[in-house]
């Protein structure tokens, strides 16, 4: 009588290939090995992926900046070294536990959004994130250019933009409309560089500090207005409300005050 092989691995290999137990065990082993390899690769590649995302974000912002009339020359004159930081909007300071790499995950948590009262929600957002990624350019220790992502509701839907402010934090250096759903040939003209160029040099507040920015119904008639677009009054109003909201107390207002106090 043949002696029973006491080695479980050899006994397993000796099973016929048609054996259901052998098929299930092999499938489990293959899946486990693949899972371990994927997990290991994820851990090893995470720093590279983080660096690549940061480089892609920087390239995206630089591409957007090149789309702002006159911004390329402005960056060249200032050295062109942009830095980025995630800010806690309500406190106007750098976030302590949220970075550019973790911002998306943070904003996937509904607790990191603040509901807006109807009277304050002039941009039509209903809620705004508690954190935002901003970009800035420094000359020495002073901020010479501040780039602020904006979003709001136009006539056709959401409008996204990046607003660039000069170091006085009151003069618009330029704007880039990065996304919109406005009507082609009417409100859709907000993506035209000829319209966006009218923002450069526009002031936001008067001497008393009141926010005066507006999009005119026709041609701009003062230092706080930009030209309107014929037949697109509601789009212009949406852009104006978007800028006014984000530069107000529920948007970047606390950040701007902190910069003015020299705390940022």
What residue ranges do the domains of the chain occupy? Answer: 8-55, 67-260
User: Which is more confidently placed, 38 or 172?
Assistant: 172
pLDDT at 119: 92
CA–CA separation, 16 and 30 (whole Å)? 18
In this predicted structure, the answer to whether residue 79 has a pLDDT above a threshold of 80 is no
Angle between helices 71-78 and 20-66 (to 10 degrees): 90
In this predicted structure, the answer to whether residue 107 has a pLDDT above a threshold of 90 is yes
Q: Residue 19: CB partners within 8 Å, gap ≥ 6? A: none
pLDDT in tens, 115-160: 999 999 999 999 999 999 998 888 777 888 899 999 999 998 999 9
Least confident of 88-92, 188-192, 223-227: 188-192
- Tell me the H-state helices in 141-232: 193-196
pLDDT at 203: 95
pLDDT at 46: 63
The pair of structure tokens assigned to 41 is 């690769």
pLDDT at 24: 78
In this predicted structure, the answer to whether residue 6 has a pLDDT above a threshold of 80 is no
User: Which is more confidently placed, 222 or 62?
Assistant: 222
User: Which is more confidently placed, 63 or 162?
Assistant: 162
pLDDT in tens, 24-78: 787 788 888 888 887 777 777 666 666 666 566 566 666 656 655 566 666 666 5
Q: What is the mean pLDDT of the chain?
A: 84
In this predicted structure, the answer to whether residue 87 has a pLDDT above a threshold of 90 is yes
In this predicted structure, the answer to whether residue 231 has a pLDDT above a threshold of 60 is yes
pLDDT at 121: 95
CB 231 within 8 A of CB 197: no
pLDDT at 143: 86
User: What confidence tier does 163 reach under pLDDT thresholds 50, 70, 90?
Assistant: very high
pLDDT at 20: 77
pLDDT at 56: 63
pLDDT at 66: 64
CB 199 within 8 A of CB 103: no
pLDDT at 45: 64
Q: In degrees rounded to 5, what are phi and psi of residue 73?
A: -65, -40
What's the mean pLDDT in 77-102? 85
In Å, the largest CA–CA distance within the chain is 107
pLDDT at 223: 94
CB 242 within 8 A of CB 150: yes
- Residues paired with residue 84 on neighbouring β-strands, in sequence order: 135
CA–CA separation, 135 and 44 (whole Å)? 29
User: What's the pTM?
Assistant: 0.74
User: What confidence tier does 224 reach under pLDDT thresholds 50, 70, 90?
Assistant: very high
């Amino acid at each position: 009588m043949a002696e029973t092989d006491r080695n479980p691995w050899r006994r397993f290999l000796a099973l016929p290939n048609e054996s259901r137990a052998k098929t299930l065990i092999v499938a489990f082993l293959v899946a486990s090995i693949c899972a371990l390899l994927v997990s290991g690769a994820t851990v090893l590649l995470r720093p590279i992926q983080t660096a690549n995302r940061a480089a892609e974000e920087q390239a995206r912002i630089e591409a957007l900046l090149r789309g702002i009339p006159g911004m390329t020359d402005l960056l060249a004159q200032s050295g062109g070294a942009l830095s980025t930081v995630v800010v806690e909007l309500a406190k106007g300071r750098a976030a302590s536990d949220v970075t550019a790499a973790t911002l998306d995950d943070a904003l996937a948590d509904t607790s990191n959004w603040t509901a807006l009262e109807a009277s304050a929600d002039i941009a039509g957002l209903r809620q705004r994130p508690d954190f935002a990624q901003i970009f800035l350019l420094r000359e020495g220790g002073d901020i010479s250019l501040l780039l602020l992502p904006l979003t709001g509701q136009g006539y056709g839907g959401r409008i996204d933009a990046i607003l660039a402010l000069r170091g006085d934090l009151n003069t618009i250096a330029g704007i880039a409309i990065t996304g919109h759903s406005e009507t082609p040939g009417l409100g859709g003209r907000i993506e035209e560089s000829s319209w966006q160029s009218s923002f450069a040099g526009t002031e936001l507040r008067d001497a008393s500090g009141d926010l005066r920015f507006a999009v005119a119904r026709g041609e701009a008639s003062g230092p706080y207005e930009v030209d309107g677009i014929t037949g697109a009054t509601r789009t212009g109003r949406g852009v104006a409300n978007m800028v006014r909201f984000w530069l107000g107390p529920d948007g970047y207002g606390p950040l701007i005050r902190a910069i003015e106090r020299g705390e940022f």
